[in-house]
């Protein structure tokens, strides 16, 4: 069935609905699968113009899923989302999934593809660009055993509209350190076109600023917590 012929009859929801709470044997990374599925829903909702009936049915299904997942709620240090360092996107869906190809002591490089969910009308939403920069700069600022630091500022320059549905390259550089201050730089390119660049400051937290916070930062599967 293609998107233009969506049925509003029961048969599109059941019994062929693949119940995500049924045990599966052929998926080896169910949480990654769940995150991907959620991203797919975000994109599909954004791209759709459902009938009121289809929208209502979809809403009820999603609310049902939310209620069922609530049974598994844990504290922030125990949740999986955002802490899967081995996955593009870390198992979260706020920020577009950033594929990190390299993180060294002083440099990080990655790729990201942004769909219509993150669109600001035929180009990436201007609020999403800092999200992506915060992601890669924070990762670099806090990697390689450096004590935890938080973003103090991000100064973003928008140089060209960032196209949707194509791969963008993102780079970060550790530009220098002065006491607790870590100066970061970054850039985003589409092909040879500079889309945006950024300067960021991260401040290393004092011990009293880190109480009751789990701060382990990983760079890959081996450090996944
Ligand atoms: C990590 C893996 C990937 C995760 C990806 C997700 C990304 C997550 C990263 C984030 O988004 S963190 C969340 C967003 N950031 C915050 O919520 C931070 C909120 N702000 C604070 O908590 C405090 O302002 C901060 C810890 C940043 C600094 O407060 P402090 O009281 O520790 O700093 P202090 O006032 O002692 O200043 C230390 C130095 O930094 C300088 N400074 C602080 N804030 C500044 C600022 N905004 N601009 C310029 N300089 C600044 C300050 O002037 C001073 O310089 P000097 O040492 O030269 O005197």
Total of domains in the chain: 2
Each residue's pLDDT tens digit, 37-95: 999 999 999 999 999 999 999 999 999 999 999 999 999 999 999 999 999 999 999 99
Structure tokens at 51: 């009938």
CA–centroid distance, 151 to ligand 1, in Å, is 5
CA–centroid distance, 158 to ligand 1, in Å, is 23
Nearest CA to ligand 1 atom 47: 152
Looking at residues 140-160, what average pLDDT do you find? 96
Same structural domain, 66 and 102? no
Q: Would residue 90 count as lying in a domain?
A: no
Same structural domain, 133 and 62? no
Q: What is the ipTM of this complex?
A: 0.96
Same structural domain, 103 and 66? no
Whether 139 is in the pocket of ligand 1, judged by its Cβ within 6 Å, is: yes
Give the range among 1-5, 58-62, 165-169, 196-200 with minimum mean pLDDT. 1-5
Nearest CA to ligand 1 atom 55: 181
Instruction: Decide: pTM greater than 0.80.
Output: yes
Nearest CA to ligand 1 atom 24: 152
Nearest CA to ligand 1 atom 32: 205
> CA-to-CA distance for 173 and 44, rounded, in angstroms?
35
What's the domain range around 152? 98-223
Q: Would residue 92 count as lying in a domain?
A: no
Whether 142 is in the pocket of ligand 1, judged by its Cβ within 6 Å, is: yes
CA–centroid distance, 9 to ligand 1, in Å, is 54
Whether 65 is in the pocket of ligand 1, judged by its Cβ within 6 Å, is: no
CATH of the domain at 119: 3.10.129.10
CA–centroid distance, 210 to ligand 1, in Å, is 13
> CA-to-CA distance for 31 and 44, rounded, in angstroms?
20
Nearest CA to ligand 1 atom 12: 150
Strand order in the sheet with 193-204: 98-103, 107-113, 167-178, 181-190, 193-204, 149-158
Looking at residues 98-126, what average pLDDT do you find? 97
Nearest CA to ligand 1 atom 22: 150
**Mean pLDDT of all residues in the chain?**
87
Same structural domain, 49 and 148? no
Whether 135 is in the pocket of ligand 1, judged by its Cβ within 6 Å, is: yes
Q: If pLDDT is split at 50, 70 and 90, which confidence band does 207 have? A: confident
């Amino acid at each position: 069935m293609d998107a233009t012929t969506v049925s509003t009859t029961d048969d599109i929801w059941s019994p062929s609905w693949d119940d995500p709470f049924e045990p599966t044997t052929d998926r080896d990374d169910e949480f990654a699968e769940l995150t991907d599925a959620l991203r797919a829903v975000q994109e599909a909702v954004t791209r759709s113009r459902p009938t009121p009936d289809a929208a209502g049915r979809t809403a009820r299904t999603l609310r049902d899923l939310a209620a069922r997942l609530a049974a598994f709620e844990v504290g922030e240090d125990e949740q999986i989302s955002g802490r899967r360092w081995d996955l593009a996107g870390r198992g979260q869906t706020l920020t577009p999934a950033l594929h990190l190809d390299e993180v060294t002591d002083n440099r990080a490089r990655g790729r990201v593809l942004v769909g219509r969910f993150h669109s600001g009308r035929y180009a990436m939403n201007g609020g999403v660009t800092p999200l992506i920069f915060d992601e890669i700069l924070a990762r670099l600022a806090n990697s390689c055993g450096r004590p935890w630091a938080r973003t103090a500022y991000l100064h973003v320059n928008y140089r060209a509209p960032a196209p949707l549905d194509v791969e963008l390259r993102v780079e970060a550089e550790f530009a220098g350190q002065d006491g607790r201050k870590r100066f970061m730089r970054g850039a985003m390119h589409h092909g040879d076109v500079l889309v945006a660049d950024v300067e960021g400051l991260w401040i290393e937290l004092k011990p009293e600023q880190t109480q009751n916070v789990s701060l382990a930062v990983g760079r890959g599967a081996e450090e996944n917590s």
